Structure 1
Amino acid sequence: MTPDINSSEEPVPLPTGIHPVVKERVNQLIEQTAAKGISIVITDGFRSTEEQNQIYEKGRSLEGNVVTHAKGGESYHNFGLAVDFAIETPSGQVIWDIYYDGNGNGQSDWMEVAETAKALGFEWGGDWAEFKDYPHLQMDFGLSIFELQRGERPPHNIETENTNF
């Protein structure tokens, strides 16, 4: 972030890891889904601007499918407010199958994870209208990407029963 030469305020440093509240809720998600017989793994969390730009290039200048529309600095991952998950089968295989029913209850494990995550206050990328990002979970704490880019940050601890920040 470039400081404003007309401002006496110091620039707010970018985060370097997952926000503590997000980390706590991810741990709760792992515990709650395990209680339902579903094992999940976090496949991605905090991303630097450079890492985000590399992912953005997939399906564009790099081989593969487009996996994001967010360039570096435009993703909640860049501010430590997002994670991606996958399902781990009993054999240890990590899968991204949204129809898999490993716990045998007649419901997609993926959708059970998404519902549990939403109850914990996460926004799920699978609910997005334009670009469905099924592995993506984020907490924006009421802050837009623009506000985060300008240096606004959520508090490091939120004492509330209301998980819909």
Structure 2
Amino acid sequence: MRRIWNAIGLLIIMVSMAIFLLYVVPTIDDIFTTSTLKQEDVPIPTELHPKVEEAKQTLIQRAEAKDITIVITDGHRTEAEQDELYQQGRSEPGNIVTYASGGESYHNYGLAIDFALRVDNGEVVWDMQRDGNGNGESDWMEVVAIAKDLGFEWGGDWTSFKDYPHLQMDFGLTIRELKYGERPEIEGYAANDEE
């Protein structure tokens, strides 16, 4: 008889857990997602944010003033381009260069650029030790210092996946917020219509 009561008790617990998982957990998730972040029909930007574009041009000029030539190897990326890059090192040959799939990168929202150095013979390099201007400092780190001064966050400072060519301006917005339609406020950029 005791086994029957234990089985009934276990059944009641399992049914209660199932009800909790089916009805309560989705409601909790809805509270944290839909009430704080509502998916908006906001267009995905198709170019760099104007402030990022301006900072990019200033970065190129300030680096040139230090006798460092940089090349912007990437700026805005479509979600399809991001997905293609994400496949590298996974289903496609090559090394893994990103952990962000389409819609998960600041590049997709026009808020990030990647750079490299151009050497005298025209070759593009990602040499972080190079001191082409001969001032005793790494050209790469001189560019990073200029970028940080302009308000960029550097991917080399990240604690997990280090992305040394990556510079971004997130304007205080997370990828999740961007996916739900939030945009930095500025004229001429894909902005939330309610703002």
TM-score category (smaller protein): 0.7 to 0.9
- Aligned-partner Cα distance in 2 for 1:121–1:90: 28
Is it true that 1:35 corresponds to 2:65 in the alignment? yes
Structure 2 residue 132 is matched with structure 1 residue 102:
yes
Percent of pairs with identical residues: 61
Deviation at residue 110 of structure 1 after TM alignment: 0.4
SS across alignment from 1:153: coil
The residue number in structure 1 matching 2:173 is 143
SS in 2 for 1:83: strand
User: Quick one: distance in 2 between partners of 1:105 and 1:124?
Assistant: 22
Is 2:40–2:181's contact at 8 Å kept on the other side of the alignment? no
**Letter aligned with residue 34 of structure 1:** E
1:40-59 paired onto structure 2 within 5 Å: 40-59=70-89
Mapped partners of 1:86, 1:155: distance in 2: 29
Q: Distance in 1 between matches of 2:129 and 2:54?
A: 27
> Counterpart amino acid of 2:121?
S
Instruction: Provide the rounded CA distance (Å) in 1 between the counterparts of 2:80 and 2:41.
Output: 20
- 2:113 equivalent to 1:79: no
Match 1:21 to one of 31, 51, 55: 51
Instruction: Give the whole-Å Cα distance in 1 for the aligned partners of 2:163 and 2:41.
Output: 32
For the residue of structure 2 that corresponds to 1:54, the secondary structure is: helix
1:60 corresponds to 2:86? no
3-state DSSP of counterpart to 1:38: coil
Determine helix, strand or coil for the equivalent of 1:102: coil
CA distance in 1, matches of 2:84, 2:41: 25
Q: Which residue of 1 aligns with 2:122?
A: 92
State the 1:10 CA deviation.
6.2
The runs of 5 or more residues in structure 1 that have no matched partner are 158-165
Whichever structure has more helix as a proportion of its residues is 2
1:112 pairs with 142, 155, 159, which one? 142
**Which of the pair has more CA radius of gyration?**
2
Q: Which runs of 5+ in 2 are unaligned?
A: 1-33, 188-195
User: 1:153 and 2:180 equivalent?
Assistant: no
List, as ranges, runs of 4+ consecutive aligned residues in structure 1 with deviation greater than 3 Å: none
* Mapped contact 2:40–2:180 kept (Cα < 8 A): no
Alignment RMSD = 1.4
- Residues 10 and 140 from structure 1, CA distance in 2 versus in 1: closer, same or farther, beyond 3 angstroms? closer
How many residues align structurally? 150
Q: TM-score, length-normalised on structure 2? A: 0.75
Match of 2:62, SS state, is helix
Counterpart secondary structure, 1:32? helix
1:156, CA displacement in angstroms?
2.2
